Amino acid sequence: MAGNHGSVRALRRSDLARLTGCNLETIRYYERIGVMPEPPRTAANYRAYDETHVARLRFVMRARDLGFSLDEVRDLLALVDGGAQSCAEVRAMASAHLEAVRERIADLRRIETVLAETVSRCSGEDVPECAVIDALAGQG
């Protein structure tokens, strides 16, 4: 491996996990589903990650942190990997995702309103009658 990359030190999966803060099992999963490329192997058959793997995993993790689905991450990576990404395409994907996030926020606000009203009607006492249970059962 060192012959192919000069003095660049190959990273093991545990190093990749430590550098990115990503769980080892998550890295394995990302490799299995093709989000992360399978790394080359050393002569001793160890996986040999490098800085391109670190950068890609950070990209994937950041996209996931922003709520992009794995399919959306794949689509973004396909644009990047193909070298054909245009800002317009990425913007369209991000805009669609932003709209979905805003819809989820609106749904959560509606849920919050209903739950807050329901909880406020609950006495919280040690009695069999409960406004929350009644509301869930469609009685309140």
Phi, psi of 125 (to 5 degrees): -85, 170
Beta bridge partners of residue 11, listed in sequence order: 49
Answer whether residue 12 is part of any domain.
Answer: yes
Whether residue 107 lies inside any domain: the answer is no
Q: Is residue 100 part of a domain?
A: no
pLDDT, position 135 = 84
Query: For residue 35, what are the domain limits?
Result: 2-85
CA 54 to chain centre: 16
| Per-residue model confidence as pLDDT tens for the chain (140 residues) | 344 444 457 899 999 999 999 999 999 999 999 999 989 998 889 999 999 999 999 999 999 999 999 999 999 999 888 777 688 989 999 999 999 999 999 999 999 999 999 888 887 777 778 888 888 888 75
Q: The domain spanning residue 35 has which CATH number?
A: 1.10.1660.10
The amino acid sitting at 117 is: E
For residue 37, give the nearest of 51, 23, 53, 50 by alpha carbon.
53
